[in-house]
């Protein structure tokens, strides 16, 4: 009897140890990647790297200025398109919980969230690149489509959690619906909406697949949204699969920049959500 | 009372203030008109706002239908030229106009399921650790945030890291077990994918495990069950459907993952013979070839692969959401 109990307790303890070991084993790859990328990348970053554009293989002093500018522009235009639509749609879903359109709309957002990024890329390619040729703006649109579900979900979830009494107080004062939403509901939930927006920017900042056949890549500094444009993730992909050491070094530097950028955005979002006690 | 009534409504109508007999009445009337005007404007603005919201809500439905319709329409040329047999064809040779998608289907399925099998013990361990053993405290916070950051790292960086670190490791492993040592291939992609999909099953599993009612667990403890026995015979059966949904979400991610896989799988359009051979997945063949597919059928064949990918992930995600919805309603 005593032996059996001991065996059961031992088994329980053994399983606990196994769980702890396996759980913390998940951290190892992430730490390994972080350390490797930062160690390989940090030494490649210098003034030339930040300010120069692509140089032919063999010539030293190439940089990633064109990709940095391109990434910022593509993400900026994607945000300009996605943020207003996303927030409005989130408001729509939280204000109309039961209507049939809201059900279909919510279902669509769910579907959109699961669609692989490469498929979004194909669609942007068919819609915009086939008729008009490669352009940075088509890349922005593809990324905007990917941002939408994240913004919509976080807006909806945040606004849903606000107490109905807030809304009723506004109506009791005779405020019309749009003023109740814009002056009471949205300001109360702004922290949740904001963190959703930042999360969506963090998500698309590293996306490569939808840009492969939309923004396409370009070797010079360019701010023309109607023309092809280089972006940071695409530059990493392009340089990483070449056999040239110079270009691979540039890719390591670019990876380091991209990684730090994306992680900072994520950590910032975490801090916001913790400060304002938002649940996402 | 002696505020001037200098409203243009009055001056326009030709009435001057001197002629007014009772200014109070007019003032009231003007106030009334103003109020009516303002509420008119607000009613108008309100209906515009409501309409805008409805249009935006509708546009999401239109967007998703548009995506599906576009993919279907653009797949027509290949459906017409190649038929359903396209998905069973074993050769992919665009130069000779032979298109068969089976190698890519096999590549996708092999990489995704291998990745899933590798990742499940880890993601479940994280879920149980955070949901049951240590739900609070700095250690739990650290683990939770780190696991969430795994999902934040861009996939192209996973791919680059895999190319530089994992490929040589796998190559030496292949040398030691005596298979053709390339380093690239299905197995390497699965390893990378396994790391990438851990957070999805883990975070869903954690929230499901935390929802197990404590009276169930306490009842089991009061009967003398050990911690492991409580987990095995109370928590896991109770959260079974939720854990399953988490696996489905991970699978959906793995099927559609493109860049990391493209960079380490080797990109050969051949049927994979075993886990260590090179191959290609649906997503990576699209990424590699769509930009240069000039022939109409070739282009359309690739888009059809995208359609398959779209439909499969939609179905998987729908089932996952259904399961989660049923679980949380109970």
Distance of CA B40 to the CA centre of its chain: 44
Interface of A with B in 178-197 (CB under 8 A): 178-179, 181
Report the half-sphere exposure of B108 (CA within 13 A, side-chain side): 24
Q: Enumerate the residues of chain A whose CB falls inside 8 A of the CB of residue B165.
A: 32, 36
A53 and chain B: CB distance < 8 Å anywhere? no
Residue A243: how many other CB atoms lie within 10 Å = 7
- From first to last of its 280 residues, chain A has per-residue pLDDT tens of 688 889 999 999 999 999 999 999 999 999 999 999 999 888 888 888 888 888 777 777 788 889 999 999 999 999 999 999 999 999 999 988 888 999 999 999 999 998 999 999 999 999 999 888 899 999 999 999 999 999 999 999 899 888 889 889 999 998 888 889 999 999 988 888 998 999 999 999 989 999 988 888 888 888 888 889 999 999 999 999 888 888 888 899 999 999 999 999 998 888 887 776 555 4
A250 and chain B: CB distance < 8 Å anywhere? no
Contact B206, B172 (CB under 8 A): no
Of B123, B161, B306, the CB nearest to A36: B161
Q: What is the pLDDT of residue B90?
A: 86
Here the tokens at position A30 are 């992430």
CA distance linking residue A180 with residue A44, whole number of Å = 53
ipTM metric = 0.90
CA distance linking residue B281 with residue B297, whole number of Å = 19
Q: Enumerate the residues of chain A whose CB falls inside 8 A of the CB of residue B63.
A: 108, 112, 145, 148
CB contact under 8 A, A209 and B160: no
Q: Enumerate the residues of chain A whose CB falls inside 8 A of the CB of residue B54.
A: 92, 101
Q: What is the pLDDT of residue B1?
A: 41
Distance of CA B298 to the CA centre of its chain: 28
Residue B115: how many other CB atoms lie within 10 Å = 28
CB contact under 8 A, A30 and B56: no
Nearest to residue A152, comparing CAs of A187, A117, A191, A193? A193
Q: Enumerate the residues of chain B whose CB falls inside 8 A of the CB of residue A97.
A: none
Nearest to residue A61, comparing CAs of A233, A237, A249? A249
Mean pLDDT by 10 residues, chain B (330 residues): 50 53 74 82 88 94 95 91 83 86 92 95 94 88 91 92 92 86 89 94 91 92 92 92 91 91 88 86 91 85 93 91 78
Q: How far is CA A130 from CA A127, A133, A196, in A?
A: 7, 6, 32
Buried residues in A50-78 as b, exposed as e (16+ CB within 10 A) = eebbbbeeeeeebbbbbbbbbbebbbebb
CB contact under 8 A, B156 and A236: yes
> For chain A, what percent of residues have pLDDT higher than 70?
98
Q: What is the pLDDT of residue B10?
A: 52
């Amino acid at each position: 009897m005593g032996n059996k109990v001991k065996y059961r307790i031992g088994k329980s303890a053994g399983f606990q140890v196994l769980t702890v070991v396996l759980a913390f084993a998940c951290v190892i790859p992430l730490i390994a990647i972080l350390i490797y990328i930062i160690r390989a990348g940090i030494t490649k970053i210098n003034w030339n790297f930040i300010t120069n554009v692509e140089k032919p293989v063999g010539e030293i002093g190439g940089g990633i200025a064109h990709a940095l500018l391109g990434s910022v522009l593509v993400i900026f235009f994607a945000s300009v398109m996605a943020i207003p639509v996303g927030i409005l749609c989130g408001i729509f879903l939280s204000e109309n919980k039961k209507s049939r359109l809201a059900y279909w709309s919510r279902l669509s957002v769910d579907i959109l969230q699961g669609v692989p990024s490469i498929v979004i890329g194909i669609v942007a390619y068919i819609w915009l690149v086939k008729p008009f040729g490669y352009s940075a703006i088509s890349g922005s649109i593809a990324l905007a489509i990917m941002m939408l579900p994240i913004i919509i979900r976080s807006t909806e979830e945040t606004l849903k959690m606000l107490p109905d009494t807030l809304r009723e107080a506004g109506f009791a004062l005779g405020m019309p619906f749009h003023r109740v939403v814009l002056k009471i509901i949205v300001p109360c939930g702004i922290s949740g909406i904001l963190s959703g927006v930042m999360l969506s920017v963090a998500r698309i900042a590293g996306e490569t697949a939808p840009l492969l056949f939309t923004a396409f890549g370009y070797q010079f500094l360019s701010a023309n949204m109607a023309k092809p444009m280089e972006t940071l993730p695409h530059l990493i992909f392009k340089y990483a699969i070449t056999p040239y050491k110079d270009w691979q070094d540039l890719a390591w530097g670019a990876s380091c920049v991209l990684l730090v950028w994306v992680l900072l955005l994520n950590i910032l979002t975490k801090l916001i959500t913790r400060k304002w006690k938002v649940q996402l | 009372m002696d505020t001037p009534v200098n409203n243009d409504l009055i001056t326009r109508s030709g009435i001057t203030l001197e002629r007014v007999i009772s200014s109070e009445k007019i003032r009231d009337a003007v106030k009334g008109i103003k109020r009516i005007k303002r509420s008119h404007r607000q009613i108008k603005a309100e209906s515009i706002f409501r309409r805008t919201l409805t249009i935006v809500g509708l546009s999401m439905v239109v967007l998703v239908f548009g995506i599906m319709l576009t993919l279907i329409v653009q797949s027509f040329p290949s459906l017409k030229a190649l038929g359903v047999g396209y998905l069973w064809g074993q050769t992919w040779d665009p130069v000779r106009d032979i298109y068969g998608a089976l190698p890519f289907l096999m590549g996708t399925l092999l990489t995704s399921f291998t990745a899933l099998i590798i990742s499940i013990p880890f993601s479940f361990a994280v879920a149980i650790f955070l949901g049951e053993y240590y739900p609070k405290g700095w250690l739990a916070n650290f683990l939770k945030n780190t696991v969430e950051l795994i999902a934040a790292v861009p996939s192209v960086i996973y791919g680059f890291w895999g190319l530089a670190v994992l490929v040589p490791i796998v190559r030496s492993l292949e040398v030691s077990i005596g298979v053709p040592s390339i380093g690239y291939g299905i197995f390497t992609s699965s390893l990378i994918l396994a790391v990438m999909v851990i957070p999805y099953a883990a975070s869903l599993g954690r929230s499901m495990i935390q929802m197990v009612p404590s009276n169930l667990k306490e009842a089991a403890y009061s009967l003398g069950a050990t911690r492991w026995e409580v987990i095995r015979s109370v928590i896991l059966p109770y959260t079974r459907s939720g854990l399953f949904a988490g696996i489905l979400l991970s699978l959906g991610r793995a099927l559609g993952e493109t860049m990391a896989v493209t960079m380490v799988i080797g990109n050969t359009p051949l049927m994979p013979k075993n886990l260590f051979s090179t191959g290609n997945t649906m997503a990576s063949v699209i990424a590699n070839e769509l930009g240069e597919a000039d022939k109409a059928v070739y282009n359309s064949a690739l888009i059809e692969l995208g359609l398959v990918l779209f439909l499969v992930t939609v179905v998987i995600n729908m089932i996952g959401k259904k399961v989660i919805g049923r679980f949380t309603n109970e």
